[in-house]
Amino acid sequence: MLLSSRTFDPAYDEHSFDHYFTGSVRPWLIPLAASQPPPFGPSAEGWPLSGGAAEAAAGKAAAGDEHSGQSTTPASDADSAPGEQPPRSPDVDPEAEQRLVPFPVASDAYRDLRAARGGVLWVKESRDEGELGSRRAQASGEKTPDQLIRWDFESRKSLTLAQKVTSYAVCSSGERVVVRHEDSVTVVPAVRTVEEDDAERVTVDLSRLRLQVDPAAEWRQMFAETHRLMAQQYWREDMDGVDWDAVGRRWRPVVEKVRCHSDLTDLLWEMVGELNTSHAYVLPQGEAPGAERALGLLGADLSSCDHGWRIDRILPGDSSDPKARSPLLAAGVGAREGDVITAVDGHPVDPVSGPAKHLVGAAEKPVELTLRREGAERRVVVVPVADEAPLRYQDWVRSRRDYVAAASGGRLGYVHVPDMQSTGWAQLHRDLHKASRAEGIIADMRFNGGGHTSQLVIEKLAQRVVAWNTVRHQPQALPYPESARRGPVVLVANEYSGSDGDIVNAVAQTLDIGPVVGVRTWGGVIGIDGRFDLVDGTRVTQPKYSYWIGRYGWGVENHGVDPDIEVIHDPGQLFTEEDPQLDRAVAEALRGLERTPAAAAPDLPAPRVADSAG
């Protein structure tokens, strides 16, 4: 029995013209004997109406095997007679896959298939939110948890053993299951569903657990584990010429001088740093101290004034990004630039430190502000955010979009891709459809934090309009492909374009999609998968996936991508209206339009049938 992703049932993307596959996993079974029917589906002898199905199936299998001379009765080595060979699986041949039979359940997101008495178990994953969690933003209630499902061979039906599961294990007898959901552990029967008050349901009292740790011994083991994992997972077996055993011997004595976890982290960083390879990380886990006292932020620029602190500027939110929520522009607040905050929860605003003193621990919690406007005061309720970064990021993107539009006279569109993960993919699609309607596109890859979706981004940027679709009652012809560029693409990069942010620029150059304007990128393209944690949860990574890229070969690692046109953005210009890199990118795109005008929809042809009245 196995779980396999063999279902190809595409659904339409709701934001762009695309198909996607989801819920493609299903449990499958391969009868080892060619003559043995599966425990569901048609059978020559039929199936019992109730009870005994498993025994009947076993009897049929045994009867069928009388002709093959092979036994299907399980036997351990201890039960076998001296010198007797244990039974072998019958008829496992190259055609065995043709006997693959799906369980009669719908394909979905399943994982962790395990055997239990009289059936099999698996986890059905919840799919009520995407990678970013935006689908449930401001929704009431908890997200739907994963469920533990049992398929029962006797009844030939599925049932839910546990409504909430993170992981589970089946006991050796197959009779009971240990189910973990977040920080709770319960033991339930493996053969039937039990209610909360059922005596067969046992909640494990984890509060009684005690753990003693010898930190020095643990640190020695963590050092050895980090060294071993790197030797096994590094992208080259020869460690790129580094004597890794010698590195371990040199740093191992230092472990005895470690006095705290921070010392160990520093030591591990020093050891893996000897490989001179990107993405070799040591990342302690755990919540930063004081998280429960996170400062509530109002999403505004404030300054001290008479009677309180003035709202100089309110950052506009973006309704498509739940994290970019503007507290002062929320419904019912009605704040304006120029309003003065005089009190927070009834406490006068400090003339020196401002509202922040009274917003400690107020992140994502209702807070009362007293606002003064033209001598009149009113009280409003706001919900401060814990992080202004998404709000300020969207404001920055908006300003760069307007900058490009102004500099090009509205001829060029603009997209920024902050990373090559789900966040960047979502951001690209916020702007690409509109940007592609312009004559050309500025694709800003500055500050791109990397990831793994560069090939998807390249696919989008490489498309160009090759046809037009004219539709009755549609004022403008539609480009083909949809969201393809009409004219030139110019990429912009800086020293913070890294990892997959390196790759996207190198591949764009290799494919001649467009020039790269800016400065040399970060230079780290040996990627990781983040599979391994140390015993205390510290995450260690092993550079495992190295890239050879046409124009650069192996040369991007530890060097970066050289821009086609170097433009240095001086730090002194970061907080001014100037953006010399965008200025040059716009100039290059307009120069490209002079050489090759943007694709434009053709005029309609003359009618095929001439007007006879003429």
The catalytic residue positions are 279, 499, 557
- Residue 517's SS3 state is strand
Give the CA dihedral 96, 101, 103, 108, nearest 10 degrees: 90
Measured CA to CA, the distance from residue 326 to residue 53 in angstroms comes to: 62
Q: Are 296 and 303 in contact (CB under 8 A)?
A: no
For residue 381, the SS3 value is strand
CB 175 within 8 A of CB 187: no
Nearest to 424 by CA among 483, 543, 504, 514: 504
Find out whether 121 and 178 touch, Cβ atoms under 8 Å.
no
Q: Which two tokens stand for residue 409?
A: 């006279």
* Tokens coding 293: 């006292």
Q: How far is CA 214 from the centre of its chain?
A: 36
The count of other CB atoms within 10 Å of the CB of residue 30 is: 14
d(CA 588, CA 439): 13
**Looking up tokens 């990429």, which residue turns up?**
491
What is the distance in angstroms between the CA of the first residue and the CA of the last residue of the chain? 77
Query: What's at 297, amino acid-wise?
Result: L
Residues facing 469 on adjacent strands: 478
Specify whether the CB–CB gap between 545 and 552 falls below 8 A: no
> Please, which contacts does 266-271 make with residues 24 or more away whose CB atoms are closer than 8 Å?
267/223, 268/222, 268/223, 268/226, 268/540, 271/223, 271/226, 271/227, 271/247
Q: Are 226 and 281 in contact (CB under 8 A)?
A: no
> What's the number of CA atoms in the CB half-sphere (13 Å) around residue 391?
20
| Strands annotated E in 287-353 | 300-305, 308-314, 340-344, 347-348
Note whether 154 and 118 are within 8 A (CB): yes
Helices within 411-563 (DSSP H only): 422-435, 454-462, 500-510
φ/ψ bin of 136: left (φ > 0), alpha (ψ from -120 to 50), beta (otherwise):
alpha
Element (H, E) at 55: helix 53-65
Q: Which residue has the tokens 């949860």?
A: 537
User: Which SS3 state, helix, strand or coil, does residue 372 take?
Assistant: strand
